[in-house]
Homo-oligomer: A and B are copies of this chain.
């Protein structure tokens, strides 16, 4: 049995930089037509110059003319109208991080709904730019996403023509929030379709399943999976795949994030097939993103076959999601 995915897109990826970028960017470019590259480097990608330089470094890592890194810039309060006009043809979205909420977000925003930010939101709306948001507050870990929802609602209401992406949503309440305004959209990761806090900390502690936002309750996981399986047109796949060296995961005080890129399509195919919704996977991993972000992706066809594939224990120095597990689908060819 075979299954084909055309022009797969990953609308939320972390390539980091340097050696790690050289390791992981090719793993994404091999199977995906394009990916939205997050800007939270140290220091972040702040302007057109940073963006061009980072894009060039990614292209050197990738050595492929059949993959597009869709670029982002780190939202900051000095984004003047001129700066926005300068970058608008080069970025796919501008990514807003609340300050200190995740890896390398120290320079993020402390007051989401400030006058300064609203001026920027207004300018972005005028210029038909897209705003990506990591939607978490600094509250109790299980409440952080839910407590952020009023921010989404206020921005969506005040800027009805600003397209907003609720990144890596993990809760039922986020899905319900997304439905309240036509300009709210979302991405969902692979792991949040599969795991709950029980998988992270219900038995032995599993650092390789620890990510931010943290996996939530069964009712949240089930709602996210139902939305993905139905290929909800406002939702794209965004792996949020993020590499950390093994040494930073298996230690005291280990880093958040899950690394899924090289196995994402195989796991998604298995998940959609098991749930009898294989016909909707093309929309979830490509067509919805084409519509939401207005993309013209590279032509790439990934042919999967139903044949066991054992996930490597490690890629370079990065332990992947489902390391050592056997999946029901493998990649047969890419053209």
In the complex, chain B residues whose CB is within 8 Å of the CB of A218: 140
Q: How far is the CA of A208 from the CA of B205 in the complex (A)?
A: 10
A255 within 8 A of B: yes
Q: Which of B202, B217, B256 contacts A205 (CB 8 A)?
A: B256
Residues of chain B within 8 A of A200, CB atoms compared? 201
A141 within 8 A of B: yes
Do the beta carbons of A252 and B252 come within 8 Å of each other?
A: no
Pick from B140, B204, B254: contact of A253, CB under 8 Å? B204
Residues of the B chain whose Cβ atoms lie less than 8 Å from the Cβ of A205: 205, 207, 210, 253-256
Contacts of A204 in B (CB 8 A): 253-256
Residues of chain A in range 251-297 having any CB-CB distance to chain B below 8 Å: 251-256
Q: Select which of B140, B203, B217, B253 is within 8 A of A206 by beta carbon.
A: B253
User: In whole angstroms, how far apart are the Cα atoms of A111 and B325 in the complex?
Assistant: 33
Judge whether A140 and B208 touch: CB under 8 Å: no
Q: Is A77 an interface residue (CB 8 A)?
A: no
Q: How would residues 231 to 258 of chain A score, 1 for a CB under 8 Å from any chain B CB and 0 otherwise? A: 0000000000000000001111111100
Q: Which residue of B lies closest to A206 (CB)?
A: B253
* Residue on B nearest A217 in the bound complex, by CB: B140
Please give me the residue from chain B that is nearest to A319 by CB atom: B252
Say how far A71's CB is from chain B's closest CB, in angstroms. Answer: 29
- Report copies per complex: 2
Residues of B within 8 A of A202 (CB): 140-141
Given contacts A206-B253, A253-B206, contact A201 B214 (CB under 8 A): yes
* A42 CB-CB contact with B under 8 Å: no
B-contacting residues of A (Cβ < 8 Å)?
A: 140-142, 196-198, 200-208, 210, 214, 217-218, 249-256, 319
26 A-B interface contacts by CB (under 8 A): A140-B198, A140-B202, A140-B217, A141-B197, A141-B198, A141-B201, A142-B142, A142-B197, A200-B201, A201-B201, A201-B214, A203-B253, A204-B253, A204-B255, A204-B256, A205-B210, A205-B254, A205-B255, A206-B252, A206-B253, A207-B207, A207-B252, A207-B254, A208-B252, A250-B250, A252-B319
Known pairs A205-B210, A207-B207 / 9 extra A-B pairs, C-beta < 8 Å: A140-B198, A141-B202, A142-B142, A200-B201, A206-B252, A207-B254, A249-B252, A250-B250, A250-B251
